[in-house]
Amino acid sequence: ALVTVVAPLGVFLSHISAAWAGGTAIYSWLYVDNWTWGYLRSPGARHELAWTVLGFGLDYVTLASWAWASGYTLGSLSRETSWLNAALLSLVTFVGTGSLTVQSANPFNAAAFSLTFYRAILPTSLRAVLVVIPAYWGACVGRRSTAVSGQRTTIGVVVMGILTLRTFPFL
């Protein structure tokens, strides 16, 4: 399971979390470090802020769902080594792209990424909370699970499918 499951899932989760961490860093910097109450007084700015928060929230739920499902798969495939595989998945997730985000290379984003919080702390925190914790939780559930009901599986697949199609509409 190590080569065929852990490495591809870890690299995938690493790249997606890096890209979304970069987007989060930029928008967080725009809204938090440059906050003005005018954002809430303007209907257009309020609308944009709400859609930004909702969009990132759904992205985070999607990423955590993928990580949980990855951990569950690892726990189900190899019950004896599920903790080792989950640890390796976490390692690959952090090492896959390091602390770099896709957007940090763009010189127009230099103001946001010049701050340590947006360059290093936020991406690492998002990976820990949205990938590592759900993956370990999924591995724990998958390890002790004997069988999953058809109804639960169907609901999970449909919800994750909808989240995935929302995230990648071109699929």
Over residues 128-136, the mean pLDDT reads 94
pTM (2 d.p.) = 0.85
Whether the CB-CB separation of 50 and 82 falls below 8 Å is answered with no
What is the residue extent of each domain of the chain? 2-167
pLDDT tens across 10-41, in order?
888 988 898 888 889 889 999 999 888 888 99
**What DSSP string runs through 107-165?**
GGGHHHHTSHIIIIIHHHHHHIIIIIHHHHHHHHHHHH-----HHHHHHHHHHHHHHHH
Residue 104 has pLDDT above 80, yes or no: no
